[in-house]
Amino acid sequence: MQSLNDIRSTFLGYFEKQGHQVVPSSPLVPRNDPTLMFANSGMVQFKNLFTGVEHRDYKRATTAQKCVRAGGKHNDLDNVGYTARHHTFFEMLGNFSFGDYFKSDAIPFAWELVTKELGIDAKRLLVTVYHTDDEAAEIWKSVGVPEDRIIRIATSDNFWMMGPTGPCGPCTEIFFDHGEKYWGGPPGSPEEDGDRFVEIWNLVFMQNEQFEDGSMRALDMQSIDTGMGIERVAALLQGTNDNYATDLIRALIEASADATSTDPDGPGKTHHRVIADHLRSSSFLIADGVMPSNDGRGYVLRRIMRRAMRHAHMLGSKDPVMHRLVPSLVRQMGAAYPELHRAQPLIEETLKLEETRFKQTLDRGLKLLDDELSGLPEGTKLPGASAFKLYDTYGFPLDLTQDALRERGREVDTDGFDASMAEQKAKARAAWSGTGEAGDLALWFDIAETHGATDFLGYDTESAEGQM
């Protein structure tokens, strides 16, 4: 069996042989980049090399990058636990060329790595190219991909962007067909969201830069940026289409089952998946210096942690659970990411404290939610005011409430939630007038308004969160 750790070594080793510098993952919190909440792909740490602003003494690099996608342009939080292939935290393997090689080398490298080094059956693979990119299609043919396995895509799926601004370009992607026993269709078809055809690797031809005003320029040099999801490749090499059944994540699921004395594959299966995923994102974020708080990055962390904690609670755990799973994570990933070792005591303490505190209001909040729902006719949304009360009084992030409702096929009236939030803010603003601090507060509220009420999470007064 090729373990996740083996695949990482194979990938980095292959590109090292091809003259690439092995560069460590950058931290999840991007340095000097206010446009991005967390590193969401391998290219983030190289952004300025693509635009030509920064130069280093290498033109080829390869990395295993820690990524979190739980907000912003790439947000997979709501997929976790429900699709077989999305995580909030995952590792992206990549090779990069900074004005060195371009398409005609990047594609053959990828094909050789996938079919020879990793030994994936070429007959199970298909590729997509950007609809106007005849050159990429020709190169795929030249390495032996039959014409009917090269799919042209006109949507943004084959034009990659890190976020609203930054280097970008057309891309080509490799998909693996898990076979007819799974539902789903090839990329570009109406059934593409199924779990049968899974995207494993994206090769981006970096040749443009997008600006805030919507304009785009051609970059002076042509570069390569690729990203392969290690968990997805581990899944197919281990004969499953389910990332959560792979060696590393399965170990975390078993730790979760042990800690809660429940069956990893029983009715609580989804809970264990969410816990395993969120344990990784929370722990890595804490190791990179993020602490739970009521705004910004810290609030994203808090949302992830509390969401996991609700799932642990649903498994019947009376005492905090998350911190007890950390040793298992460190065993799995501490060798590749020594920061986990170093931060282990901090991670455990932070998780334990948050879970202890959240447990004080979690039960009462869930009971309120149940009461509200029992009075609601089938098909009606949970009123925004109720969701806001859960947020304000019981410390339930909105997405936690949405996640809890999803299990029951219900939704929240988010407009109503925003309205309650706005009302609360207006009251607070009125109450504060004449204190002499109005200037600061105006700024504070401006920030809130720019970000919209649902994203604005800095405000709290007497709430449960305020006591944290």
What are the residues binding Mg ion (CB under 5 A)? 199, 202
CA atoms within 13 A on the CB side of 171: 23
- When CB distances are held under 5 to 8 angstroms depending on the partner's kind, the choice from Mg ion, ligand ATP, none that residue 86 binds is ligand ATP
Rounded alpha-carbon distances, angstroms, from residue 243 to 69, 179, 203, 260, 281 = 16, 16, 21, 22, 15
The interface region with ligand ATP, picked from 11-19, 84-92, 268-276, 443-451 by CB under 6 A, is 84-92
Cβ nearer to ligand ATP, comparing 110 with 340: 110
Q: At 46, list the tokens.
A: 């190289």
β-pairing, 197-210 vs 216-229, is antiparallel
Binding of residue 307 to ligand ATP (CB under 6 A) = no
Q: Closest separation between CB of residue 202 and Mg ion, Å? A: 4
Helices (H), 288-337: 296-314, 326-333
Binding of residue 200 to ligand ATP (CB under 6 A) = yes
C-alpha to C-alpha distance for 448 and 453, rounded to whole angstroms: 6
Q: Closest separation between CB of residue 168 and ligand ATP, Å? A: 11
Residue from the set 20, 47, 60, 87 that interacts with ligand ATP by CB under 6 A: 87
Residue from the set 20, 69, 306, 357 that interacts with ligand ATP by CB under 6 A: 69
Q: Where are the beta strands (DSSP E) in 51-192?
A: 60-68, 89-97, 125-130, 150-153, 159-161, 166-177
- When CB distances are held under 5 to 8 angstroms depending on the partner's kind, the choice from ligand ATP, Mg ion, none that residue 200 binds is ligand ATP
Render 398-424 in DSSP notation, one character per residue.
HHHHHHHHHTTT--B-HHHHHHHHHHH
Q: Closest separation between CB of residue 88 and ligand ATP, Å? A: 7
User: CA 320, 68, 251: angle at the middle one, nearest 5?
Assistant: 50
**Chain residue at closest Cβ approach to ligand ATP:** 229
Residue from the set 20, 86, 178, 357 that interacts with ligand ATP by CB under 6 A: 86
Binding of residue 232 to ligand ATP (CB under 6 A) = yes
Binding of residue 280 to ligand ATP (CB under 6 A) = no
- Residues lying near ligand ATP in the complex (CB under 6 A) are found at 41, 69, 74, 76, 86-87, 90, 92, 199-202, 227-229, 231-232
